[in-house]
Each structure stands twice: as C-alpha cells, then as structure tokens.
Amino acid sequence: MKKKLVSILLCAAMTATLLAGCGSSADTAADSGAAEETTEAAAEETTEAAAEETTEAAADETEEAVAAEEEIPTSTFGDANGTHLEMWTFVELHGQHYGKMAEIWNEQNPDRTIEITCTTYPYGDMHTKLLTSLEAGTGAPDICDVEVGQYPNVVAGLDQWLVPLDDAASPYMATMVPARMQTYQGEDGHYYGAPYHVGATAMYYNVAAMSEAMGISQDEVIAKIDAVVTWDDYVALGEEYKTAIADDSKYWTSVDTGGVDWLWIAMAEYGEDWTGGFEGPANVQLDSVKNMLSMQQEWLKSGLAQISPDGHVDLEAGFQNIMDHNIVSFPKALWYMSRFTNYMPEESGNWYIAKCPVFEVGQKCSVGIGGTGTVVTQQSEAKELAAEFLCWAKMSDEGEQNIWDTLGFDVCNTAQWGVDAFAHDDNNQFNQYFINYPYDVLNEIGMDNIGKISVVAISPTINEYACTTTLNEVLEDPDYSIDDALQEFQDAVDLEQ
Amino acid sequence: MKTKNFLYSQKVAPYVFVLPFILSFAVFWVYPLITAFTMSFQKITATKTAWVGIANYTKLLKDKVFLIAVANSAKYMFFTLVLLIPFPMIFAVLMDSNIVKAKGVWKAILYMPALTSVVISGTLFRLMFTEYKTGQMNLISQALGFGTYKWLKNGWSGMLALLVLACWRWTGVNMLYFLSGLKAIDTSLYEAADIDGATPIQKFFRVTLPLLKPTTIYVLTISVYAGLAMFLESYMLWAGNSSPNNIGLTIVGYLYKRGIEKNDMGYACAVGVVLLIVALIINFAQLIMNGTFKKED
C-alpha cells in the first residue's frame, strides 16, 4: 500500500516536472519566436497591427537580431567620466542611434557629458523584463524602447513607473506631428514616450507596370495618379488599368485578411477610432469600417482586387506578389520603403508614392501606423538628464538627421521635412529607389492630416479578432453580411471590456 | 567525528545526492506551480493586485476562444499519438531487422530534423504551405492538376501542416526510444519463437509488442504532454499567434496571448492550471489503464 502511494506521488511529481518543463520550454520558445519577429518582419505580428515597427530597421539586420538570441550585444558609448545611463532596446540599430547621439551630445555639452550602455534583447524578452522590473520597483534601465503594441502595458504605470517627458519635449513640440505624440500619451494626459517615426500611410503605385500595360508614358501615368483624390477616382483608375491589361491574374490591389491597415486608414479619414481611446468603450461598428469593408467586397467581386497571399503584403508571399506585378498599388506606412530596398531591389525605379485616396474631399488622408515609444523610468538616478537627452536624440535636428540616415524613417519633427539638404539628399537610398522623394509626399500630406488610432488596453483584443475572424469572414466570402460580422466582432470585444 | 559519521551515514548519503535535484525542483517547478495557482484567483494589473475568487475560471468556461484552443490541442494530441507511436515503432523494428541496408544513414536522416530549431523549421514550413503559387505544396498540387489551395486558412489543412511538421520532427526521436527498447529484448526469446515455428508477424505481436510496453508507455506519456503543450510550431507556422478563425490556436498559445500579449497574468494562470489538470487526468487515466500503478510481483 505504502509502495503504491509512493509510486503515485512519484508519478505526480514526474508529471508536474514534465509539464512544467513543457511550459518553460514554451516560454523560451515564445521568446525566441518573438525574437524572430524582430528579425523576420515584425509585420508578422498580425495580432498587433500596430506592431509593425519592430521590423522597420530590424529587417535589414537579420544577422544582428539572430546573434541577439545567442549573446546579448551590449555596447557602451560616450564619456566614461560622464553620467552613466543604461538603455534597453530590441533592435540593435536603435542602440547605435543613441550611441552616435551620445557622442554628439558630449561635444555640445562638455559640462554634462554622458556615457550610455545600450543592450539589445530579443523582442519578447525585453518587454517582459521591463514590465517585471517596473512592477518590482528595481532593475529597470534609465531609458527603454517600448514597441507600440506593448506600450499600453507599460504606460499603465503612469508616473509611478515613467518620467513624464512634457518639459523635455517642449522645445520641439511646435513642429512635432501631434498624432504621434498623442500615441504615447498616458491616461493622465502626460507624454511618456518619444517616437522615432510617423509611420504615415501612403499609396504605393507601380508606375512602370502601369505604363507598360496602359501603353502610355510614365509621366502620363503619374499625372493620372496625382489626379486621384477620392476612392472613386482610385477605382476608376484601377478599372482603366484592368481593362488595359485584360488579364484575370493581374489585380489593381490586394486587400488584407491578416492586417488592419486598410481599416485604420478608413477610420482616420472619418476621424473615428474603434478603441474609444482611454475613456472607451470600444465600438467597432463604425461607418468608416463598414464603408471600407463594403468597398473591398465590391472590389473582390468585380475582380479589381485579390486577397493578399498569406494575409497581408508584409510577408514573403506578399513581396513575391508585388515583384510578379500581380498587384500594382497598395497603401502602406512609409516604413514599408525599407521592404522595397531590402527584399525587392530589382523593383528600383518602378514605384511612385502618393497620398492615399479619401472617401470625401477634405478628409484626413493618412494615419500613423506602428512605432516605438522610448520611455525614461522613475528608477533612473538622472531622470532630468535622461529625459532631456532622449528628447534631444529623437526630436532635435541632429537626432532626426541621424534617424533618417541610419534608420530610414519618416521623422516626426516636421521642421526637417522642408529642408532641402535633408529631404532631397540624393545619396539617400530611398530617395534613389523611388520615382519621387518620399518627404515631398509627407509635405503634401501635411502634419495635421495625419490621423491617429489609439493604442490602449483593448487594442490587442480588437486587432486580434479582426485578423483572426472578421476580415476572414468578410473578405474570403465577399457575400458575407458586414453587419453580422461587425455585430459578432462587437460582441467579442464587449466580453473583454 | 560527528561530521564524518554524518558524511559516511548510509541513511543520509542518498538525500545528499538527490538534494540538487530536489532544490531545483522546489525552486523552479514547485514554487512557480503554487504561485501560478494563487495567481489564477487574482486580477493582476499594472500597479495593484486584487483577489477575484473564481472569476477567472467562470470566465474561462464561457470563453469560446479558449474552447477552440482546447479542441485544437486535443485534436493535435490525438493525431500525434496515432501517427507518432505506430510508425516510429515500425521503423525501429525495421532498423533492428536485417531487411534494411545502410541503417546509419536512415537513422541519421530520420533523426536530423530533431536537431534543427523549430523557429527555423517552422518558418520553412510556413513558406512551403503558403497559399501563393510558388509554395512547395501548391507546386505539388498544381503538378497533380489541382489548383492552388489556401493551406493555412482552412481547418483541416492547417492541422495537416502542424502534423506534417510534428511527424517530420519527432519520428526519428521516437524511433530511437523504440530502438533502445528493442535492444533490451532478449534474443533467446526470438530463437525460442523460431524453434516453435512462429512467423515474423507472430513474433512481432507476441514477443516484440508486449516486451516493448514500458517504452510504449513512456513514449505515450511524453507525447500526451508534448501534444497538449504544443505552441511554438503553431506560432511559427502562422507567423505570430493569430491564425485565421483560430485554426492554429493551442492552449499554450492562448496562455501566451493572455499573459504576454494582453498582460493579464491572472487569467493566463487560470488557463495554465486548467492545462495542468487536463494533462494530469489524461495521463493518470492512461497510466492506470496500462497498469503502471499495479503492485509489482
């Protein structure tokens, strides 16, 4: 009898060990998986639509990020006698940006020099570590990158955890894109995060393919694209292209079942926000969403659009689809430029960037997607200095210049947008790749025409349900009732709020 | 003198030897297990933690997505048992027989996938199963005259992709378990069977299968856990934790979604506790039926 008891206990112990073992390996798995996100194209986190930024710069440093899994790259920059700052990031290039900026800072401020140590962790690891150390009240770095999808979890601690950046950012606020600053606001209205980029959406057009199919010169195609103002114009141009090419396997655009970018654009145009912001409640049954989805259903039925292979354009199949010229236009944030240069170099010189069409004339025509907000923690021993340095490194002229040169983002400080040496630098790879200058498009859009969709606690739920269920229902079956799908969507969201 | 007595004591020595295991077991398994259990009764937010009783569990019962995750994990576990026990066993018997030539090569080929990272192999399988026409599976289906297919958007083909990945990866490992089990079987039993005029089929069912039982039970037990706790394969195959209509969502995937993506640790712990209970029930039932707890003779 005793023996039996012992054997049962042993079995229970064994089961628990094994299971715990499985659990923990799943955790590391999650981490390495998440690390891969950084490498692979973070767009893969279709769950967090807003999460795409991870990739932006990360995309071109696959090797570094992979190395990050094996060993944690730590680099120290600046003056060894200066104030020491600890910085965590999940993209090594971001760390190098701060290193470069620290050296310029030390030249400009010889009496307040700093030394900064940047540590690159895998994506999942870094956010978990940061949250744990903030909760524990010890162990957090002075400065930390926070990916926008994870931002609600971090900003929940408000000024108990983070240092408000309002004062440090004030010298730059007049020219900062307001929507981007608001993205990183806390519930109390203070700014807690400094942005790298706008992530403004624009429409990418394959002018070369269009000109060949339609038998007109590239300049004529560009003139036609520039004349597009509303979605109706966009559809008319698409039909013209479809008629000219007369090929059922070629489409005007592709719609996403695994990403919510199209819906974000629609909401920004109507000035709506399905999260409801901090006050809530979230409401997904919006006119903008209905209009966009019913328009997409029409496109699918008429053969104007296809469904993006594997769900959205920011995956390998999407790149291939673009390179095969199966689609010749699509809207995406400006950081998608780096996908062109990294994954589709042979398309150089074919593509043109233009404003997104709108539903009604006078609406906003862009929305900021993705991003990383950098925060200063309350655990820092040099909060003011850290905040001042951070805002300077991410918002000043020097900072923006380095962000555009090394990271290739559409910077948030509009003061730079009009500077010729900055925006029209022909040595810049993006300026070389595209037919027009990306910053000309930004200037044309204008900082006040860039909308914002809040990223709050309910956001992951909304994005996830849209990508797993609603978009699949509505687009895979273009006859599916949009009202029914949105009702289901709303019910699922209501369960969580 | 006293210390020497202590060190040389036959009663104490075994405990000293198992102490490292007991310690790590207590710190890394028992402690988190208890904490997870208490956390499953709490609502944990950024700055405060509150007791909510069984609210997490009642919510879990009504949570349709969780039920989908349980169903997916159960299906996956069932099919991996069906595929990953008989076939590796047959391969092991073949490897042990004289029918197969160049055994080392075959063993290496079958075992190799277990050495690759799931992150890499999952990504490769995702590219193979892409719905785009250049994907490996679609090339095959086009060559056979069927058009392209959206492999990772439909329930059955998504599960198929997961199972192909699992079989590719684990067949070799399970085969090695069975091979080591076969080596332990006394050859004189086969000689005796030969003398009695038993056919190879009879030998397999009357000698090999019964004597492999301990190995089979071991493989069955770990496969049940592995099946229920699968996460990374699905995460890599759908490039993230969201699959169309949740066809690839597993229990651990759901736990990750709740705990990490939505930072709701209390609810995630409730998911984890349910997973533990389900796994314990299945395995105890299985072990009792197999007679593992019966008194040894």
The per-residue pLDDT for range B115-152, each reduced to its tens digit, is: 988 888 998 999 999 988 888 999 999 999 888 899 98
B80 and B135 together in one domain: yes
> Would you say residue B185 lies in a domain?
yes
- What are the C-alpha distances in Å from A367 to residues A454, A463, B192? 11, 16, 80
Given a cut of 50, whether residue A22 has pLDDT beyond it is: no
Which tokens hold the place of B182? 């076969």
pLDDT score recorded for residue A26: 36
> For residue B127, which residues of chain A lie inside 8 Å, CB to CB?
316
Give residue B10's pLDDT: 80
Residues B32 and B67 in one domain: no
Quote the pLDDT of residue B263.
Answer: 81
Does residue B48 sit within a domain?
no
User: Residue ranges of the domains in chain A?
Assistant: 59-197+370-416, 201-367+453-494
Are B99 and B132 contained in the same domain?
yes
How far CA A212 is from CA of A189, A243, A245, A304, in Å, comes to 52, 13, 9, 18
A22 to B45: CB separation less than 8 angstroms, yes or no: no
Q: Is B184 in the same domain as B215? A: yes
* β-bridge pairing A201-206 and A351-354: antiparallel
Does B290 reach chain A within 8 Å, measured CB to CB?
no
pLDDT, one tens digit per residue, over A332-363 is 999 999 899 889 999 999 999 999 999 999 99
Is any Cβ of chain A less than 8 angstroms from the Cβ of B188?
Answer: no
Q: Is the pLDDT of residue A53 over 70?
A: no
Residue A193: φ, ψ to 5°: -130, 145
Do B196 and B119 share a structural domain? yes
What is the CATH superfamily name and number for domain A59-197+370-416? Periplasmic binding protein-like II (3.40.190.10)
CA-based angle B79:B81:B84, to the nearest 5?
100
> A124 touching B, CB under 8 A?
yes
- Confidence grade of residue A243 (pLDDT, cut at 50, 70, 90): very high
Is any Cβ of chain B less than 8 angstroms from the Cβ of A178? no
CATH number at B76 reads 1.10.3720.10
Q: What is the pLDDT of residues A383-431, one digit of tens each?
A: 999 999 999 999 999 999 999 888 888 999 998 898 888 889 888 889 9
For chain B, the domain total comes to 2
Task: Supply the DSSP symbol for B172.
Answer: H
- State how far the Cα of A331 lies from the Cα of A203, in Å rounded to an integer: 4
Average pLDDT over residues A360-370: 92
**Integer Cα distance of B40 and B126 in angstroms:** 34
Q: What is the pLDDT of residue A405?
A: 83
Instruction: List CB contacts (< 8 A) between B293 and chain A.
Output: 4, 7-8, 11
Beta strands in A286-432 (DSSP E): 305-307, 329-333, 351-354, 366-367, 372-376
pLDDT in tens, B247-287: 999 999 999 888 888 888 899 999 999 999 998 999 889 88
Examine the domain organization and report whether B115 and B60 are in the same domain. Answer: yes
What is the pLDDT, as a whole number, of residue A18?
Answer: 44
In a domain, B296, yes or no: no
Q: Where are the beta strands (DSSP E) in B229-277?
A: none
Residue with the bigger pLDDT between B76 and A7: it is B76
Partners of B49 in beta bridges: B44
Per residue in B22-69, pLDDT tens? Answer: 999 999 999 999 999 999 999 887 677 889 889 999 989 888 889 999
Residue B108 sits in the same domain as residue B132: yes
- Residue A64 pLDDT level (bands cut at 50, 70, 90): very low
- CB count in 10 Å sphere of residue A108: 12
* Cβ atoms within 10 Å of A232's Cβ, excluding its own: 12
Mean pLDDT of chain A: 85
Distance, in Å, from the CA atom of A250 to the CA atom of A313, rounded to the nearest integer, reads 15
The pLDDT, as a whole number, for residue A4 is 58
Ramachandran assignment for B102, one of left (phi > 0), alpha (psi -120 to 50 degrees), beta (any other)? left
- Grouping H, G, I as helix, E, B as strand and the rest as coil, residue B92 is helix
**The 3-state secondary structure of A348-359, one letter per residue:** CCCEEEECCCEC
A17 by DSSP, 3-state: which? helix
| Assigned domain for B150 exists | yes
* Band of pLDDT at residue A125, cut at 50, 70 and 90: confident
> End-to-end CA distance of chain B, in Å?
43
The answer to whether residue A37 neighbours chain B at the CB level (below 8 Å) is yes
Question: Does B147 contact A at CB distance below 8 Å?
Answer: no
**Residue ranges making up the domain that contains B93:** 55-289
Q: Are residues B207 and B268 in the same domain?
A: yes
Half-sphere exposure of A301 (CA within 13 A, CB side): 11
Average pLDDT over residues A49-77: 48
Mean pLDDT of A319-342: 93
Confidence of residue B96 (pLDDT cuts 50, 70, 90): confident
| pLDDT in the model for residue B292 | 76
Q: What is the value of ipTM here, to two decimals?
A: 0.79
Q: How far is A46 from chain B (nearest CA, A)?
A: 7
What would the pLDDT profile of A429-462 be if each residue is shown by its tens digit? 899 999 999 999 999 998 889 999 998 889 988 9
Scanning B9-38 for CB atoms below 8 A from A yields: 25, 28-30, 32-33
pLDDT score recorded for residue A3: 56
CA distance A162 to A149: 17
Q: In which band, very low, low, confident or very high, does the pLDDT at A278 lie, cut at 50, 70 and 90?
A: confident
- Residue A30 in tokens: 């999650």
B219 CB neighbours in chain A (<8 A) are none
**In the numeric block, which tokens belong to residue A170?**
């004030």
Residues A467, A451: Cα–Cα separation, whole Å: 22
In 3D, which of A151, A193, A132 has the Cα closest to residue A54? A151
The per-residue pLDDT for A8 is 56
- Does the structure show a pLDDT above 60 at A23? no
Amino acid at B205: F
pLDDT digit string, tens, across residues B182-219: 999 988 999 999 999 889 889 999 999 999 998 999 99
A489/B103 Cα distance (integer angstroms): 55
Per-residue pLDDT tens digits for A145-154: 999 988 988 9
The 8-class DSSP code of residue A491 comes to H
Token reading at B25: 């077991």
In-domain check, residue B44: no
Helix or strand or coil: residue A85? strand
Q: How far, in Å, are A277, B47, B197, B272 from residue A183 at the CA level?
A: 10, 21, 81, 33
- Which residue's entry shows tokens 């540590």? A119
Of B118, B245, B263, the CB nearest to A29: B118
Segment (H or E) for A143: strand A143-147
Is residue A122 a contact partner of residue A69, using CB atoms and an 8 Å limit?
Answer: yes
- B225 → closest Cβ in A3, A18, A258: A18
Q: What is the pLDDT, as a whole number, of residue A30?
A: 38
Give dist(CA B238, CA B130) in Å, integer: 10
Examine the pLDDT at A49 and tell me if it is beyond 70: no
Give the distance between the most distant pair of CA atoms in chain A: 91
DSSP assigned state of A1: -
Please tell me what DSSP assigns to residue A51.
G
d(CA A483, CA A467): 17
In terms of DSSP H, where are the helices of B9-63? 13-24, 31-39, 55-62
Residues of A in contact with B239 (CB under 8 A): 40-41, 44, 46, 310, 315
Q: Are B15 and B103 contained in the same domain?
A: no
B48 and chain A in contact, CB less than 8 A: no
Q: Which residue type does A345 have? A: P
CATH code 3.10.50.40 for A201-367+453-494: no
Number of Cβ within a 10 Å radius of residue A243: 10
Q: What percent of chain A has pLDDT over 90?
A: 61
**CB proximity under 8 Å: A 258-277 to B:** 258
Specify whether B109 is located in the same domain as B21: no
CB A320 within 8 A of CB B134: yes
Whether the upstream peptide bond of residue B113 has omega within 30° of 0, thus cis, is: no
Report pLDDT digits (tens) over A163-210: 999 999 999 999 999 889 999 999 899 999 999 999 999 999 999 999
Record the tokens describing residue A396, joined without a space: 């000043």
B207 and B161, same structural domain? Answer: yes
Query: Based on C-alpha coordinates, what's the Rg of chain B?
Result: 24
On whether any CB of chain A is under 8 Å from the CB of B46, the answer is yes
Residue B18 shares a structural domain with residue B89: no
Q: Are A305 and A255 in contact (CB under 8 A)?
A: yes
**Is residue B130 one of the residues assigned to a domain?**
yes
A10 touches chain B (CB under 8 A): no
